[in-house]
Amino acid sequence: MFSVVIVEDEYIVRYGIRSMIEWEKMGLTVIGEAANGQEALAFIRQEPPDILITDIKMPIMDGIGLISEVRKFSPHMKILILSNLEDFQYAKEAIRYGVSEYLIKSDMMPRDFEQALMKVKEAIEEASPNREEKQSASAQPLWKEKLLLDLVEGTGTEQLSVQSAIESLGLLDAKLPLYVLHIGKNAFQLGITEGQSYIRSALDRIVAAEYGASYEVFPDRLGEMNVLLFSRKAQDLKAVREIAQSLLTYLVDHYEMLCTIGVSRGIMAWSDLQNAHEQAMTAAKYKMFIGSGKVIVYGVDYVPVQNQQTEPIKVSTNHIHSMVYAFQSEELQAYLEEIFEHLTSRKDYDMVQIISLELLIMLTTLWSDVSSDQHNILHLKKQYFDQLAKLETIQQSKAWFLQAFEELVQHMIHVYNSDRNGIIKAAQYIQMYYHQEISLQSISQLVHLSKNYFANLFKKEMGESFLEHLTRIRIEKAKALLTGELKTADIGHLVGIQDPKYFSKVFKKITGVSPSEYRNRTRGDV
């Protein structure tokens, strides 16, 4: 297995990188992650990885600074850098330090990432064919964490393999019952390695000293932390809650690390470990509805609902768009309140995540419509994702979306008067150049508005869509020309409709008669 460290200041990007790759299948394992170059450097000096994946722009120490420092003591480490397109000048500087691969974030797909990692992995294998033997001793801690993770995820489903794993871990004499504690991601915005160290320090002082218990700590594939707690003294749930609460308090008091701890039911057989792990994770997620910074015990604070309603909550994109473009702030707020009332009563964590993502996509799409500055839109999207990733409760999510949509509506009201001049300019352009080819795309570019925003604003201001307005002007011009001697087909060309059959069809649809019938009527022939 080749080791990997991920360095990225945005938690949601780190999460995406960890979850988009099947690391184990590729022969890779993530041994740590960090939110900036300084934190990463401290870890890498202690435990150099085979592959370093790093962002370029980060606070405290950026990717260039990290790479330059790493090269001083590890000239052969493989480095893969991530960046935005506008930061390519920094990437060129990074290449001087022997960076192996460079990926643009906005274009990054799982397949591209896997291909880049595979190239780097193959280069390492070619350079050090006997690597596995050399690193077997140093890999013990990583091996142990992987084995624990396999156990809680149920990778070893046969009793023999489970028993072998327990024996390999030296846990055959562990005192049961066993409880699983799951510590949510909010504690680890700083990075897995430092968070894991803090938890071990806290448990050393609490579990062993006060309760005579033993424990194992290891991260899962999403970067969240798990604790296996063994103690005969902890057979009653009250003692387990006290341990978890003491851990919670210690982390806050000593490290200012606010977190939520989910606690499973106690188990007396290793075969129930996977189920216990799922219980602890489910309990920790319940902070969405009762608040963060708490100990949540499965079956006590969180009781699973039987026969829960599973019909999805529907959110109307068209309805939200129409209210935003009509500046119907109060109606929009009421609609969002209704959505979150349904989510709160349902108490379905996954449903909250799905609806939040839908609303976020709507929000960023509307901003893209109203702004022609795509650089600012990319920055806004990044800001929104960062903010949303930090929200832990449904009340926080509701408040955030209410404010975000209100800011959007107020922005649209603010720019409306200046953009109205663009609509007037577009209407004047149509009056003058109706006979030429005019598309929604071309005329929105003419007045420097995005296509979707222009279309909505045009209809609001003119009382008809752009296409309806253009067609009506052309038919009005055609009616005037039909009083003369020009052929019907030529008149269609002159007003910008090149297909004679289509011209006749549109003319009749608007006027109720064909072009020839209209001409006869104006001459008094009918």
Domain range annotation of the chain: 2-135, 140-297
Structure tokens at 480: 């005037």
C-alpha to C-alpha distance for 442 and 345, rounded to whole angstroms: 48
Starting at the edge strand that comes first in sequence, how are the strands of the sheet with 178-183 ordered?
214-219, 225-230, 178-183, 261-263, 295-297
Q: Is residue 31 within 8 Å of 59, Cβ to Cβ?
A: no
Q: Is residue 43 within 8 Å of 70, Cβ to Cβ?
A: no
Which residue is listed with tokens 């072998």? 164
Structure tokens at 25: 């299948």
Q: Is residue 260 within 8 Å of 294, Cβ to Cβ?
A: yes
Q: Is residue 99 within 8 Å of 81, Cβ to Cβ?
A: yes
State the Cα torsion 47-52-53-55 to the nearest 10°: 90
C-alpha to C-alpha distance for 496 and 489, rounded to whole angstroms: 11
Q: In whole angstroms, how large is the CA radius of gyration of the chain?
A: 31
C-alpha to C-alpha distance for 5 and 18, rounded to whole angstroms: 10
Q: Is residue 324 within 8 Å of 306, Cβ to Cβ?
A: no
Q: Is residue 267 within 8 Å of 298, Cβ to Cβ?
A: no
Q: Which helix (H) or strand (E) holds 438?
A: none
SS (H, E, C) 459-492: HHHHCCCHHHHHHHHHHHHHHHHCCCCCCHHHHH
**CATH number assigned to the domain covering 140-297:** 3.30.70
Contacts 24+ apart (CB under 8 A), 272-279: 273/151, 273/152, 273/178, 273/180, 274/151, 274/152, 274/153, 274/154, 276/152, 276/178, 276/179, 276/180, 277/152, 277/153, 277/180, 277/182, 277/226, 279/180
pLDDT computed for residue 233 by the predictor: 57
Residues in the chain: 526
Q: Is residue 173 within 8 Å of 293, Cβ to Cβ?
A: no
Q: Which helix (H) or strand (E) holds 230?
A: strand 225-230
The single-letter code of the amino acid at 314 is: K
pLDDT computed for residue 157 by the predictor: 47
SS3 176: coil
Q: Is residue 64 within 8 Å of 93, Cβ to Cβ?
A: yes
Structure tokens at 449: 């508005």
**Is CATH 3.20.20.10 correct for 2-135?**
no
Of 497, 430, 495, the C-alpha closest to 458 is 430
pLDDT computed for residue 169 by the predictor: 73
The residues of the chain scoring below 50 in pLDDT are 133-134, 136-138, 157-160, 187-188, 190
Q: How far is C-alpha 13 from the chain's CA centre?
A: 8
Greatest CA separation for the chain: 109
pLDDT computed for residue 159 by the predictor: 46
C-alpha to C-alpha distance for 457 and 499, rounded to whole angstroms: 29
Instruction: Give the residues across from 215 on adjacent strands.
Output: 229
C-alpha to C-alpha distance for 514 and 506, rounded to whole angstroms: 9
Summarize pLDDT for 98-120 with one digit per residue, the tens: 777 777 766 667 777 888 888 88
In terms of DSSP H, where are the helices of 286-393?
287-290, 317-325, 329-346, 349-370, 374-389
Q: Is residue 143 within 8 Å of 117, Cβ to Cβ?
A: no
